Amino acid sequence: MGLIAKVVVGVLAITFMTFVAFFGRLPALRHTPIAWLYRAIWVYIPNGILAVDQALTGGRIISSAGTFGHYVWYGRHPTVLIFYILLLSVSEFLYLPGAWPRMSRFHQVVGAIAIILPYIFLYLAAFSDPGVVTAATHARYMSLYPYDFTLFHPGQQCRTCHVLKPPRSKHCAVCKRCVARLDHHCVFINNCVGYGNQHWFLLLLLSTALLTTYGGALGLSMISENARARSSIFSLWKHPQQSWHHYFILLTYGIQSDVGVGSVTLLVVMTSPLVWGLLGYHAYLIYCGTTTNESMKWQDWQVEMDDGFAFRRRLPIPRNRHPKFEASWTRWPVEPAQILVRTVDGEQPNDTSLPGEGSWERVWHLRDIENIYDIGFWDNLVDIFVPNHSFRVEAQSDLERGKRNRKTKA
């Protein structure tokens, strides 16, 4: 196997594993081979090793290394974060010696900024408080959002932290703490992505996407320039008079002329779409007014609706809040107008303690349920990038907000 073939295989392997790590847990890919491979790596293979050890040694090997193994697979450690930093740093170390002298002063300045920004945003995303719910911060996070009586209901207590769960919060099994508006736990920053650092995480994605795109474009231009030194008709878009065989010979020559620039260019060209895709996915979640965690909950509700087990009825507006379980005031401009519950037998709920008024109505589609956390793309964005921003405080009736249903694309 030649040098270029080895580089291509290595780049493809890194790209594929990055894709699986990025997208394996997304709800949209839940029933795809990518999700299966993600589960195989993180669930099936470890469980298989446990089963083999149990059958052959009675579990002695895993037991002797149990603490370390559990830490590696399920604990919070910086292994992937270090790998990510090394991937950035080593790529730049290979790329810059050959590329920097050939760059104009403008590109050197822009390139330096593009290189520095991901490290800054990585530090801020990794070491900022994601919104950990403690006794000192509990009241603050309770006042951020109202309970929607669909995904989040008042009175639920975290069984691990033993605190009343604020709306949109979730307990992170890796960090072992509750986080306000938890999106997901990200192994690339070794931290949760939540209310306190989601803006830094998004800026990290954006700066990384711009860096890979910019570096890839410059690298391709240099590869093309190297190839044109052998044939003046070469271009990245194959010339009609040029055979594919001749085209790939020249392309290989262009890459081999500077292996550092060529290999890193191949890497960023293949990984850049993944970073843009992940950024686009999170932009879409912002558009829908939801998080990764909440999108999974919505998918679960769709399953209940398909089975005919989901029911809703009206909530009065204004509504009397339960002083023991709810904040007396939130900064959010929208109050829930309905409650959604599931039953185990497909019959209407008969629990008289459930809030709401009127008769229960079976729900078949997500579009019939309002997502009160979606207040429009711009305000959703402000909620992320301007922490503690005070929105309109008056509760809107269902009629005033135009029966704002949840975006069914989420």
Quote helix, strand, coil % in the chain, to nearest 5.
55, 10, 40
CB atoms within 10 A of CB 46: 17
- The token duo for 269 is 């060209």
* Cα 276 to Cα 238: distance, rounded to the nearest angstrom: 26
Are 212 and 275 a contacting pair, CB within 8 Å? yes
H or E, element range at 178:
strand 177-179
- The token duo for 26 is 């997304």
Q: Which of 172, 175, 178, 186 is catalytic?
A: 186
* Cα 107 to Cα 225: distance, rounded to the nearest angstrom: 17
Q: Which residues pair with 172 in a beta bridge?
A: 177
CA-based torsion, 32, 33, 36, 37: positive or negative: negative
Residue appearing with tokens 């950990």? 132
Going by the DSSP 8-state scheme, the letter that residue 164 receives in this structure is B
Phi-psi region of 403 (alpha: psi -120 to 50; beta: other; left: phi over 0): left
Q: Is 175 a catalytic residue?
A: no
Burial of 6 (0-12, 13-18, 19+ CB in 10 A): exposed
Which residues are identified as catalytic? 186
